[in-house]
């Protein structure tokens, strides 16, 4: 006979072992219903405004060839150098989770022959982005962006329109105390000249720079301008400024953008140190910051964008001017909550259904269906037994009316309608309840 102990077949063997629980990947988080109320408010405002401005929605894959970001965002940027989630597929393709949306949309523009469609092409999008950054408040390894891009128009009025749309969207969402920081970094030609001057300047101050900036100087000197180390900020305060090196076309373009912004009465701040962390930008660059706050880290930026007239060509397409903007949904959600946005009022259920007993429960399920078909926002708690606890919930949801069905009402085919503010109750026959609710909600 075998000496091995016979295993009971009542319980699977693994269930008795202590199993360690699995947690979300560092820097990634779950988003629960209360937070989604805020997110929906942001996304609804974004989608409505973009459609009003003639934008259509685009969705691109979360996974793209790594080469797209190397060529698009830039090999020497922090994002590509240190922050991408990259891996090789089983078929040997080198792919990355997208760290941002613009490069993928430019790829889609080329791949789908959009240059043959009537220009400009105006697209908006939302979704997750992935950056292997040090997680902290407002900075995650998975974050979400809402953004919009315009392809095929080089007119400065379009830069102004994109900035105006970003500004208006933040007003609609209810983001308070913000400023538009704006600069022009010129075209490739004026930038080459500028970079030489910048390298000369920083080389003379090399001993005053942080270790990272010393390394960056040869590869990407413009990144030194937005280093957050105190000593580098000090050196950068007297560095040459991009606007002094703009060629005539870039200078005129920027001047026109600012004139349009003046016409639209947008409160912008000229910021000569604003260069953005992605290599595809040309000419206009801008960010939306919390106004009055010192710009201490990239975290204080709610959104950013600018013109990227060379990106489509860099990715193998035709010469196509483009400009766009995106913002971080987490940062904007945190900001409006801090400013007092109350998602409860948004979630108010105008009518709450209260039931007592199994028969009443069945009637309530049917009535729920009728009410939502009539576009009335309705709450229920069919799992609960006590009328008191259900009325408490109706109160919490700010319901104006409670519709109560007990055993007697279920048999009689009636409903008790209760005004939650006055506590007054009345009996109404089931056939007339929807009309009666609509009448009372109109008051």
Pick from 373, 387, 381, 393: which is nearest to 434 by CA? 373
**Inter-helix orientation angle 33-52/156-173, to 10°:** 150
Q: Please report how close the Cβ of residue 431 comes to ligand HAM at its closest, in angstroms.
A: 53
Q: Are 96 and 146 in contact (CB under 8 A)?
A: no
How far apart (Å, rounded) are the C-alpha atoms in residues 271 and 182?
6
DSSP secondary-structure letter at 302? E
Q: Which is nearer to ligand HAM, 102 or 320 (CB)?
A: 102
Find the shortest distance in angstroms from Cβ 378 to ligand HAM. Answer: 36
DSSP 8-state assignment for residue 274: -
Which of residues 167 and 352 has its CB atom nearest to ligand HAM in the complex?
167
Q: Which two tokens stand for residue 385?
A: 């037994």
Closest distance to ligand HAM from the beta carbon of 159 (Å): 11
Nearest CA to 108 among 73, 138, 151? 151
Q: How far apart are the first and last CA of the chain?
A: 84
Residue nearest to ligand HAM (CB): 328
Shortest separation between residue 277's beta carbon and ligand HAM, angstroms: 6
Q: Which is nearer to ligand HAM, 19 or 137 (CB)?
A: 137
Smallest gap from residue 75 Cβ to ligand HAM (A)? 16
Q: Of 227 and 393, which CB lies nearer to ligand HAM in the complex structure?
A: 227
Please report the DSSP string for 130-191 in residue order. Answer: E-----BTTB-SEEEEEEEEEES---HHHHHHHHHHHHHHHHHHT--SEEEEEEE---HHHH
Q: Which is nearer to ligand HAM, 104 or 406 (CB)?
A: 104
Task: Tell me whether residue 288 or residue 403 sits nearer to ligand HAM (CB atom).
Answer: 288
Chain positions contacting ligand HAM, by CB under 6 A:
100-102, 131, 133, 138-140, 143, 145, 147, 149, 277-278, 301-306, 324-328, 330-331
Question: Taking the complex as a whole, how short is the minimal distance between the CB of residue 331 and ligand HAM, in angstroms?
Answer: 4
């Amino acid at each position: 006979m075998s000496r091995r102990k016979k295993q009971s077949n009542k319980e699977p063997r693994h269930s008795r072992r202590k199993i360690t629980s699995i947690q979300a990947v560092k820097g990634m988080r779950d988003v629960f219903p209360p937070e989604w109320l805020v997110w929906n408010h942001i996304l609804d405002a974004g989608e409505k405004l973009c459609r009003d401005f003639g934008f259509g929605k685009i969705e691109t894959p979360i996974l793209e060839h790594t080469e797209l970001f190397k060529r698009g965002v830039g090999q020497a940027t922090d994002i590509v150098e240190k922050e991408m989630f990259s891996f090789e597929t089983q078929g040997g393709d080198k792919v990355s989770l997208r760290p941002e949306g613009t490069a993928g949309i430019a790829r889609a523009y080329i791949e789908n022959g959009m240059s043959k469609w009537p220009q400009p092409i105006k697209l908006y999008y939302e979704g997750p982005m992935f950056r292997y950054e040090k997680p902290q408040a407002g900075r995650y390894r998975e974050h979400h962006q809402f953004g919009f891009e315009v392809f095929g128009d080089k007119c400065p009025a379009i830069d102004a329109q994109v900035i105006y749309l970003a500004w208006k969207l933040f007003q609609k969402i209810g983001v308070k105390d913000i400023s538009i920081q704006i600069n022009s970094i010129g075209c490739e030609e004026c930038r080459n000249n500028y970079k030489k001057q910048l390298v000369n300047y920083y080389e003379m101050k090399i001993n005053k720079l942080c270790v990272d900036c010393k390394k960056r100087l040869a590869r990407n000197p413009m990144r030194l301008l937005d280093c957050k180390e105190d000593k580098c900020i000090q050196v950068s305060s007297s560095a040459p400024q991009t606007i002094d090196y703009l060629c005539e076309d870039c200078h005129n373009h920027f001047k026109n953008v600012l004139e349009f912004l003046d016409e639209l009465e947008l409160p912008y701040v000229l910021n000569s140190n604003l260069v953005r962390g992605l290599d595809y930008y040309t000419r206009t660059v801008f960010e939306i910051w919390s106004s009055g706050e010192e710009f201490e880290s990239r975290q204080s930026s709610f959104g950013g964008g600018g013109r990227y007239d060379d990106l489509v060509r860099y990715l193998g397409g035709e010469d196509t001017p483009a400009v766009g903007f995106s913002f971080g949904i987490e940062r904007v959600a945190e900001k409006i909550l801090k400013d007092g946005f109350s998602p409860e009022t948004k979630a108010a259920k105008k009518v709450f259904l209260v039931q007592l007993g199994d028969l009443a429960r069945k009637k309530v399920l049917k009535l729920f269906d009728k009410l939502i078909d009539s576009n009335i926002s309705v709450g229920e708690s069919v799992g609960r037994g006590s009328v008191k606890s259900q009325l408490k919930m109706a109160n919490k949801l700010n319901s104006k009316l409670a519709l109560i069905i007990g055993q007697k009402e279920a048999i009689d085919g009636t409903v008790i309608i209760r005004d939650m503010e006055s506590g007054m109750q009345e009996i109404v026959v089931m056939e007339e309840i929807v009309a009666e609710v609509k009448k009372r909600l109109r008051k």
